[in-house]
Structure 1
Amino acid sequence: MTNTAAYLEKYDMEDLYHLAVNTGVTDEKALGKDELITKISNNLLNRDVLEYAYLYSDDAALESWRHGSEDGELGKNLSLTDVYGLYIMGLAYESLNEEDNFFILEEVLDKFEAVHTEENREARTGIQRQLNLIRAALHLYGVVEFKQIVHLFKKYYGMDVTIEEVVDMVNRSPYVITVNEKNREFVIDDMTDEQYEIIRNAQQKYKYYEPEFGKFIKFSNPGYIDESAAHETLKKWVSEHLNTNVASDYELYLHVLRMVISGRKREDISGEIKNLGHTFESKAEEDEFFELISNIVRQTRHFQYRGKSEAELGQRTIVREVKVGRNDPCPCGSGKKYKKCCGKAV
């Protein structure tokens, strides 16, 4: 098979330990990095590992795998969103030469039909249905009590599940979700201890946001944006003012939105707007634009409000700088690291 060692060398030990568990490596903590990489590489194409990847990969990753199995070129030049479920299984990698350009291993592409059986399709439907509810809750709340997940299964699916069954489902999944037994909570990936304490303490005074099911389940997609009228206004503004030779209207809109969500300073945003083709002709025009930005911030859903927005709570918006490290959790709540989400350039 393709030598994956060069790609796995980029992983830190914690990521390798997690990948080892996903690929059936035992006693991973007793192994050095080279041994760990060798064992993971040897296990990647085992039938049970491939079936596990099929059952637990998100829909975007499964579709990329399926299309790639039909045409190998479609398994190249992919985004992290396209391959996330396979990436965390070690079946997809980021190009060593081009950041944010992912591909699925050729040998894996050839194995799709072998695991795409009627039995696996049926099993996957049930697994993904449950995982999507858990993902949606984590993307909305960041920190969520065991009992809330049990409540959501009953509310949205009519399922009477126990806390033990939900914890088992999370532990069996390949996704990095912290199970905090002491506080009886699930915590989204990569949240620091400091962030956890701030968010958990702030949450206590709020009830969980529970929209109708069609909207709730959209949050299972980490790329989903709960757009308001202010977002639509920003889209129109971008289309009318920014240079579409640089990127498409939608890419420019996302770029501006990422700057807003990540807490960039006003002068930095104004400077980037100028780089993208528009100079504010007056302070009044600039103030009007940043009033729009304030409205977007007010409409953004926050972990500390248990999925509610400042607008829904009647909070006063203060637009301020928030320093976000490249390896910190993305402020948008996707569960990905900032460098792999809103921290990416257009």
Structure 2
Amino acid sequence: MDEKNDKITEAALIRALENAKAFSQQLQKNREKRLWKKVDIPCSLFDAINGLTKAEMDTIRKNYDFRNLSSLKKAELASELAKLVPLKFKKVIYTLDQSRYNFIKVIIKNSGVIPDVGISVSSAEAFMEFSIIFPGLYDDQKILFMPNELINIFSQIDSNELENIVQRNTEWIRLTHGLLYYYGVMDPWTVKEKISGLTGQEVDILEFMNVMSFACDFYGQARYTSYGYQDERVFDAKKIVEEHRMRPDVEYYPFTKKQLLKAGDPGYVDKTPEMNSFISFLLKHYRLSDQETNEIALQITNMINADSKPTLIIQYLLSWMEFPSFEFVQQLTARIMELYNNTRQWVLKAHTPNELFQEERKFLKLLPGEPFKISQQNSKVIDQQTRTKVGRNDPCPCGSRKKYKKCCGK
């Protein structure tokens, strides 16, 4: 009966995942349809804003911190925003980093209009929600455009001073992303102090938070919550913050500026010697591309930081490959435990369990040196020749001529 219920539950979970995926795809289509609406070129700032929904106008209002406008009707709000945005546009331009600054320069060079260059929906929305660049549909072609009023303001303030600020912002954002990659969650003041120390220049907290506000929306690598800034991979910020507070005498692991700038790259994976050894082990048994090994390394690092059990990593790897024998699973689990004990973890302020074990015996427990036991119900041993799951009464795939339950499945 329990087995039947488990199968029913499993089938329900699979259907739920499939439905969630389909729903997500539909949402994406709806976002794109809403984003690319017909426009006339040239397009004034008022016309660009007036073509938005009331909710999108409200986002612009909030991003610019315009007050006492929430009660206005759509047309009235569009008119007010078209008057007020140019007055504070300089402040938004001063939050740009090198990538967005260069993108704006390209659009201005092309008279304020370029064809859609494959920019992500979220990035296009972020530009629009700060009333800088707008997406549109012109002559049945997707375009990105910048109203002439804003081009004129940008051209007036574009100078060596702005370029220096852009370089500073680029460094702030990359360092913040790098800090959050290793620490998971940090409050703004701690991030600000870290960056001040790394750059040798005092960071103004309000300027920094304005820069990060736009960067969080645009890049999606980090977000601001009640716990502070957190890496986008974090789903339990409260736990990380509590673990940090439990270790007031443990300093954040001291990374160099170069290390943090590197870790700030999207999709970065810390390829430790243990991770490289683990990947080499997999490559001895499977033919995997660099893209596949990078994805595996990234997801395993994320699972370790999320405090997932080693058996979950086994289940994840089963989605990629078939295990030839139970002996292979034992070797695999030993290497996973080595990874656990030598991975920099959010809850440990980017130290590894091995590094802190001597100082924190009462808090930490290293995973055992011997492979942990995996229940036979959870281990799927696959016969590589027949590509089918080995039953307990089937001949063992190791070639011993014994039944699986009397041999590797014992």
Query: Could you say which TM-score interval applies, normalised by the shorter chain?
Result: 0.5 to 0.7
Matches within 5 A, 1:113-128: 115=154, 117-119=158-160, 120-128=162-170
> What is the aligned residue count?
292
Rounded to whole Å, the distance in 2 between the matches of 1:227 and 1:75 is 32
**Which residue of structure 1 lines up, in the alignment, with residue 335 of structure 2?**
292
Once residues 301 and 95 of structure 2 are traced to their aligned partners in structure 1, the CA distance between those partners, rounded to angstroms, is: 33
Q: 1:156 aligns with which of 198, 217, 220?
A: 198
Q: TM-score when scaled to structure 1?
A: 0.59
The CA RMSD over aligned residues, in Å, is: 5.1
- Distance change (3 Å), C-alpha of 1:79 and 1:25: same
**Structure 2 partner of 1:21:** 62
Q: Check whether the contact 1:299–1:311 (CA below 8 A) recurs between aligned residues.
A: yes
Partner of 2:353: 310
Q: Which of the two has higher C-alpha Rg? A: 2
Instruction: Report 1 or 2 for greater relative contact order, CA contacts < 8 Å, sequence distance ≥ 6.
Output: 1
Q: C-alpha offsets along residues 211-250 of structure 1, whole Å, 9 cap, x if unaligned?
A: 2321133344453322201222344455555565xxx422
Structure 1: gaps spanning 5 or more residues: 95-103, 321-346
Q: Specify the alignment match of 1:232 in structure 2.
A: 276
Equivalent position to 2:251, from 193, 207, 219: 207
Query: Does the 8 Å CA contact 2:175/2:264 hold for their aligned counterparts?
Result: yes
| Aligned partner of 1:216 among 253, 257, 260 | 260
Q: Which residue of 2 aligns with 1:253?
A: 294
How far 1:198 sits from its partner (Å)? 1.8
SS at match of 1:231: helix
Structure 2 portions without partners, runs of 5+: 1-37, 40-47, 136-141, 217-222, 358-363, 373-410
Q: Alignment partner of 1:56: what SS?
A: coil
SS in 2 for 1:188: strand
In 2, the alpha carbon distance for the partners of 1:90 and 1:298 equals 47
Are residues 1:56 and 2:98 paired? no
From the superposition, tell whether residues 118 and 93 of structure 1 become closer, same or farther in structure 2 (CA, over 3 Å).
closer
In the TM superposition, 1:1-346 aligns within 5 A as: 20-23=61-64, 25-27=66-68, 30=70, 39=78, 54-62=93-101, 72=114, 75-76=117-118, 78=120, 86=127, 89=130, 106-108=144-146, 115=154, 117-119=158-160, 120-141=162-183, 142-144=185-187, 146=189, 149-150=192-193, 152-153=195-196, 155-159=197-201, 161=202, 166-175=204-213, 186-188=228-230, 194-195=238-239, 197-221=241-265, 223-237=267-281, 239=283, 241-242=285-286, 248-255=289-296, 257-262=298-303, 269-276=313-320, 278-314=321-357, 316-318=365-367
**Distance in 2 (alpha carbons) for counterparts of 1:129 and 1:115:** 22
Question: Taking structure 1 as reference, are residues 84 and 203 closer, same or farther at Cα in structure 2, changes over 3 Å only?
Answer: farther
- Cα distance change on mapping 1:75 and 1:179 into 2, 3 Å: same
DSSP 3-state at the match of 1:173: helix
TM-score, with structure 2 as normaliser = 0.52
Q: Distance in 2 between matches of 1:201 and 1:140?
A: 16
